[in-house]
Every structure is written in structure tokens, then in C-alpha cells.
Chain A
Amino acid sequence: MIAIVDYDTGNVGSVFNMIRKAGGTPVITRDPTILRQADKLVLPGVGAFDEAMGNLEKFGLIEILNDLVIDRRKPVLGVCLGAQLMAQESEEGNKPGLGWLDAKLVRFRPAEGLTLRVPHMGWNMVEPQSEGGGIFDDVTRPMRFYFVHSYYMVANDPSIVLARSTYGSEFTSAMAQKNILSMQFHPEKSHKYGLQVYRNFVERFEAC
């Protein structure tokens, strides 16, 4: 069973539909008992950083998630804002992130003399940089995923960079460390590319 963490921030319905399509058994929940029973977790999210961290606090989820992900090493996939929350901080907010990954979020800024529409919204290429526990295995190349975001990940520790993409300039579009996967794009909205990522997550991903 895959638990989709429900903290009133995001596209839980889309993630549910895609996990079911990928052959997994999804449950949308914030019930600590069910979260503990789950084989794997997905942390979705769409919206603003501080509000999302505030909701995790409000529902008493931070401690449980820390326990499950850091102490018990349950495989977890963060998507979009859910992926960003795994970092230490974001320029978007004042609250600290979960701090599972040594990274921060920085706002897209155009190079001097150029324009860059923000948010970065649409389909873009994703170039894998490491193996990531097989999460990109059998995904059709070149890989295209759907993005919507205004802040991008900067990994302080280069060894956790899982994939890179280019918008204006090159940036980190996914990170991985042990049992933790963090993806800026939306695999649940990315056709066969995303379906295979979820299949890999459901069937084989345990840790990097």
C-alpha cells in the first residue's frame, strides 16, 4: 500500500489515479496508523512553501514523517512542492523545510538582458545524472515531464543530484538520497514517462 500524504496542499487525486494505473494500491491519508502501515509514501504538493509547512505542522505530520523517513527509512517520493519541502529552506518562505536533503530553493531569475517567464510551466526534458535506485529504468528516452514551478532546487551536496533540466540555464530537477526521492516535475501528469516512474517506484524502488 502506498500512502499519499494528505495535508490539504495539492493534487492528491492525480497522484492517486496514476499509482492505481501503475499497479499500486494508493490511499490518501493523514492517519498516523495508516502512514506507519504503508510500504511507501508520496508527498505531493501544489502551492506556497510556508502554507504547506504550516499544514504539515497543523496536522501533526512533521514528527511522524521524520520518524518514518529518517529513522525507519521508508521509501518516499516528493513531487513538486512536496519535493521542495524536503530541502532545508526556500527563498519563497520563512519557515524551515523538513531538511531531509542538503539543498535549498532559489527563484528563477532571467540572465541579464533576457526575459524568462515565471513560472516555468510546460513540458521539458529531464536528463538523469545518477542511477537513483532504478527509478528511471525503462522510461522512454529522451524523457519529457510536465513542470510547473517558480523556485528550483540547488543541491549543496552534488552527490544527491538525480536529474537536471534547462530553463534559462541548467538546474537540478530531481534529487535522490538513500530512501528519499525528490522530483520537481509531475510524473503523475507526464503520460508514459511518468507512468513508468510510478511503476518503478511501486515495484522496485527501495533505496539508492
Chain B
Amino acid sequence: MLKARIIPCLLLKGRGLYKTVKFSEPKYVGDPVNAVKIFNEKEVDELLVLDIMATAEKREPNFELIGDIAGECFMPLAYGGGVSSIEQIRRLQRVGVEKVSLNSAAFHNRDLVKEACSTFGTSSIVATIDVKKSFFGKYEVWINGGKSNTKEDPVRYAEQLASLGVGEILVNSIDRDGTMAGLDTNLLKAIVGAVDTPVIACGGAGNLGHLREGISCGVNAIAAGSMFVFHGKHKAVLINYPSALQLEEIQLESAR
């Protein structure tokens, strides 16, 4: 059994690094290249960088900044935000990104997902699903940085993405984002149970116990933002990451 990967998730807004709560209230947490250098020293499993403004501003990824980040990133790097063409994915790989996440563009254009998987190999393509609970408690897929409700059922949508051949599915809970209140385990279990594709859980992890709960749901990886950039109840900015020993322990505990 492979260890579940624990992935710091960094949000870009302009050239800065921010952390949101429920996809709003962005708080500045520092310089992205500097943060990556620190995560590098801490030997994190992988990094996920999402540009939260690219789609909203109807612009391309900031290739120059992503290149600067990738140049300091000696672990696998996934990027998402504003990606809507094969050519953009090629450019991202040339600047040093391994995996590219498709979100809003994947929803509108399933052919793009298919073509991306066959061109770059399935392991290079991640599909991201942003999920929010409706007033009536029903899970729905949102796009455009959590601004537009598609009314689509996330489990059904995950099955479609899996059949298109994506290498991983990132399930991001808008309701849990930045709350550090724990992952949405019901949502994760439903999606893990529906697809064979590896699932990355995101949204809500605040401590090692939450990571353990997530791993018990059968996800292959957990991404977290607040947990790895904030410290203490006043949320002081401090880049941190569990030790190899701590990670080893939660894996063993969740396997029980």
C-alpha cells in the first residue's frame, strides 16, 4: 500500500499568495516563490498551486510566475487556474509543471479533457470539482471560482470525468474551504465509492486527525491550505508541514 500524499495547496492572486475562507475573504500570506522554497526544505510530497483569479479575469495562466515557482519546486507540481487549451498545457509543462488541473473548462468542454489525456498522458491531467451544498443539503458542482452553480451532481460528474480518462480527481469542498473544521467525509466517500480514479480531497483539513479521517475515506491524497500556512488560533502566517514520523503515524492509524 502506498502512503497517501499530503499536498500543500497554494492560492495565487496576482503575484501574491492568499488563503480564502469558503472561496472568499482572500488573506495575503506571502510570496509564492519564497513559500515554495520553504516547502521544498520540508520535503513535502507534492505541491498544488491554483490561480483563483485567472478564470474570473478571463485570462491565461501567468506562465512567467508559474515558471519562477516551478524553478524552485523539486517535488511534483500541479497547477490549475485559467487553463482552457492544449497549447497552454504544453507551455505549462515546458516551464516545469507536471500536472495540470482542468476545472471550468472541463465542465464546458469534455473534448478538451479527452484530448488533454491522450496528448499528455492520463497521469498529467487532474480534473477539479468544486462542490457546495445547496440550501436543501444537496451537493452541487460550482464553476468559475465558485461563482456559478451548474446544478450538476458531483458523483455523476466525477464518473463522467473518470470515463474521459483523467489521472486524478480533486474534490474541493467550498463549504469547508479555509474553515479547518474537517474534510467533508460524506462527499469524499460517495466519490471514492463511485470511481476507480485516484481522488485528492481538499477543503477543511485543520489538523492531523482530519488527515487521518480523510485517508480512512479511501482518498489517495489530501490537499490543504490553511493547515500548512497558518499557526495558532489567531492564524499567524507560518509555513509548516508535518514531520515524516507524524505522517507515518497517521497512515498507520487510518489503516486500522
Contacts and interface: CB of A to CB of B under 8 A. Distances in A.
Given A13-B97, A46-B121, A121 B198 contact: yes
B96 A119 contact: no
Contacts of A46: 93, 98, 120-121, 123-124
A167 interface: yes
A12 interface: yes
A148 interface: yes
Tell me what chain A mostly uses at the interface: helix, strand, loop, or mixed. mixed
B30 interface: no
A123 B96 contact: no
Interface stretch (A14-22, A30-38, A96-104, A172-180): A14-22
B159 interface: no
A156 B2 CA distance: 27
Max count, chain A CB within 10 A of own CB: residue among B40, B73, B94? B94
Contacts of A194: 74
Interface stretch (A70-78, A127-135, A182-190, A200-208): A182-190
Interface string B73-87: 111110000000000
A133 to B, nearest CB: 23
B43 interface: yes
A153 to B, nearest CB: 17
A167 B2 contact: yes
A12 B91 CA distance: 11
Given A122-B2, A122-B3, A167-B2, A13 B96 contact: yes
B220 A11 contact: no
Contacts of A82: none
